C-alpha cells in the first residue's frame, strides 16, 4: 500500500494503482482511516468525510429503530384487523422487530426515548402499508395510533381482534 496525493491510500495490483478515496472504495477508506487513527497520524485523516460518517452512524441507528417500529406496527395492525390471516410468520416478525428495537437501545441507551418520538410517524407508515392489502381500505385503521408504546414494545402483548 502506498500513500498518494491528498492522503489517498493506493493499492498496487496487476500493474495498476487503485486510489481508495471515500467514494472509490469505502471499505479501504475505513481501513486506512482506522490505521491512521491508531497511529495518531491526525494530519493525514480525511476529517471531513470522517465527521460525515460518524454523524451517519447515529442516523443509521435511528433509522433502524423507525424501520423496526414501522414493521412492528404493521404486523400488529394486521394481527388485529385480519385475524383470519394470522400466521406464525406475523408473530415471528412482531417478536423480531421488538428484539431489534431493544438491541439498538441496549447498544445506544441515549436512543431510549426515540421510539416514543417516532411512534405516530411509524404508525402512519404502517397504516398506509397495511392498507395496501386489497381487502382492507385505509379507513379500517384508526387515524391515530391507539396502542401505547409500552404495549407495542411489550413482548407478551398482542392486540385483540377488532370488532
pLDDT in tens, 60-98: 999 999 999 999 999 999 999 999 999 999 999 999 999
Radius of gyration, alpha carbons of the chain:
23
Q: Is the pLDDT of residue 14 over 60?
A: no
Q: Is the pLDDT of residue 2 over 80?
A: no
Q: Is the pLDDT of residue 20 over 70?
A: no
Q: Are 45 and 37 in contact (CB under 8 A)?
A: yes
**Single pTM value for the model:** 0.76
Cα–Cα distance between 106 and 22 in angstroms, integer? 30
Amino acid at each position: 500500500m502506498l500513500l498518494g496525493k491528498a492522503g489517498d491510500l493506493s493499492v498496487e495490483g496487476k500493474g495498476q494503482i487503485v486510489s481508495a478515496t471515500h467514494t472509490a472504495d469505502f471499505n479501504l477508506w475505513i481501513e486506512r482511516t482506522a490505521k491512521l487513527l491508531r497511529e495518531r497520524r491526525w494530519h493525514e485523516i480525511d476529517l471531513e468525510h470522517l465527521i460525515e460518517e460518524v454523524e451517519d452512524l447515529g442516523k443509521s441507528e435511528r433509522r433502524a429503530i423507525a424501520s423496526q417500529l414501522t414493521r412492528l406496527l404493521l404486523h400488529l395492525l394486521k394481527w388485529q384487523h385480519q385475524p383470519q390471516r394470522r400466521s406464525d410468520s406475523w408473530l415471528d416478525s412482531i417478536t423480531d422487530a421488538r428484539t431489534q428495537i431493544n438491541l439498538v437501545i441496549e447498544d445506544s441507551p441515549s436512543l431510549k426515548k426515540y421510539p416514543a418520538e417516532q411512534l405516530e410517524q411509524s404508525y402512519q407508515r404502517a397504516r398506509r402499508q397495511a392498507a395496501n392489502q386489497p381487502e382492507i381500505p385505509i379507513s379500517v385503521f384508526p387515524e391515530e395510533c391507539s396502542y401505547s408504546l409500552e404495549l407495542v414494545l411489550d413482548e407478551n402483548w398482542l392486540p385483540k381482534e377488532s370488532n
